[in-house]
């Protein structure tokens, strides 16, 4: 039985993808950098680095399927070249190694940030973006989204050349085992710590990380090469998310809404100071710019073509709260 390679298994989403595969009887291989671990997983560990092509041959050897979940997911970096080296060059390196090894299926994890958003309509609710909404590189805010957009375009180009590449675009996964945490997990953690006294008028699409992992497996089983599939669930305003966290955690939700202009200047100062000190900003400018739009999308295509059926996210938010608390984060 060929192995299934998972990259990024030491991270939030990658861990859950590997766990879902193992629970379904797949023989997994986990590509981990030196010093990284994936506690709770039973797959064979291969040490390597996406930025070093020579280290990837052993990882893909004998694998029938690759789930490339790893990414440098930061909204600020002292050296932005690191994001392109991991997200773009790393994806290219892994695909080339996979084709040489005869891999039969490659599932590439992109991001909802690469999905186009329609122009606002006169209605109160923003129209939903989907896989067919036009989008350009110039619309990508910041180096993380640009690096992922370019990597996605490379993956699509490989599919057009006949390679077996299926692309998934997760929205904002939430749940347990958000070790780092991710930017979305940081919102939850800041709320639990009392470090979120106010909010901006923005919106996210949340999805249970376990459902998102299952969506990856469905894409591996049923996805059409060259197609993109949004893996999301509920479109919520940030205020609604904080209100749900309040009811789950017992902490009060903030009631003060920061005007976008004020948030912009906070982000400008915070990021400028980070550029000087090398310390991660509390309010990265890239995140502030993203907040100007409600990232609301439809997962209808994944539902129709993959059978993707995500559940409401309250249970996942509850798991996130419990996991952060029980693991000493707050």
Residues 6+ apart with CB under 8 A from 153: none
CA–CA gap between residue 66 and residue 69 (Å, rounded)? 9
pLDDT of residue 289: 74
Give me the average pLDDT of each 10-residue run along the chain (330 residues). 94 98 97 90 94 95 97 85 96 98 98 91 76 94 94 98 98 97 94 90 96 98 98 97 96 87 73 76 75 90 98 98 95
Given 3.40.630.30, 2.40.50.1020, 3.30.70.1400, 3.40.50.720, which CATH number is that of 3-180+205-235+296-314? 3.40.50.720
8 Å CB contact between 207 and 174: yes
Strand-pair category, 44-47 with 165-170: unpaired
Q: Where are the extended beta strands (E) located within 281-324? A: none
pLDDT at 108: 98
The distance of Cα 269 from the centroid of its chain, to the nearest Å, equals: 27
In Å, how far are 50, 84, 221, 227 from 128, measured between CA atoms? Answer: 34, 29, 27, 19
Q: 168 φ, ψ to 5°?
A: -120, 145
Predicted pLDDT at 282: 78
Q: Tell me if the pTM is above 0.95.
A: no
- Residue 121 confidence (pLDDT): 67
Determine the pLDDT at residue 288: 67
Strand order in the sheet with 172-174: 172-174, 203-208, 234-237
Element (H, E) at 41: none
User: What is the model's pLDDT at position 59?
Assistant: 96
Q: List, in order, residues 6 or more apart from 104 with CB less than 8 Å away.
A: 64, 65, 164
């Amino acid at each position: 039985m060929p192995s299934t390679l998972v990259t990024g298994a030491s991270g939030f989403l990658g861990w859950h993808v590997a766990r879902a595969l193992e629970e379904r009887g797949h023989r997994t291989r986990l590509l981990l950098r030196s010093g990284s671990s994936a506690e709770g997983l039973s797959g064979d560990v291969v040490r390597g680095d996406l930025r070093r092509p020579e280290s990837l041959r052993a990882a893909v050897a004998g694998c029938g399927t690759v789930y490339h979940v790893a990414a440098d997911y930061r909204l600020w970096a002292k050296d932005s070249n690191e994001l392109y080296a991991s997200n773009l060059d790393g994806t290219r390196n892994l695909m080339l190694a996979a084709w040489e090894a005869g891999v039969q299926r490659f599932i590439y994890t992109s991001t909802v940030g690469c999905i186009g958003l329609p122009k606002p309509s006169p209605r109160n609710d923003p129209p939903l973006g989907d896989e067919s909404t036009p989008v350009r590189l110039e619309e990508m805010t910041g180096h993380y989204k640009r690096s992922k957009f370019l990597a996605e375009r490379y993956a699509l180009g490989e599919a057009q050349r006949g390679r077996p590449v299926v692309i998934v675009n997760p929205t904002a996964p939430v749940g347990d085992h958000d070790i780092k945490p991710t930017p979305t997990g940081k919102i939850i953690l800041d709320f639990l710590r009392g470090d979120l006294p106010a909010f901006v008028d923005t919106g996210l699409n949340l999805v249970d990380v376990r459902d998102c992992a299952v969506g990856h497996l469905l894409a591996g089983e049923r996805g059409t090469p060259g197609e993109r599939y949004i893996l999301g669930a509920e479109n919520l305003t940030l205020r609604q998310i904080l209100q749900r966290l309040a009811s789950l955690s017992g902490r009060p939700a903030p009631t003060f809404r920061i005007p976008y202009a004020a948030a912009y200047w906070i982000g400008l100062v915070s990021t400028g100071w980070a550029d000087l000190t090398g310390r991660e900003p509390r309010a990265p400018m890239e995140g502030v710019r993203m907040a100007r739009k409600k990232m609301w999308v439809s997962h209808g295509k994944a539902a129709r073509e993959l059978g993707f059926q995500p559940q409401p996210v309250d249970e996942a938010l509850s798991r996130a709260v419990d996991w952060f608390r029980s693991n000493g984060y707050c």
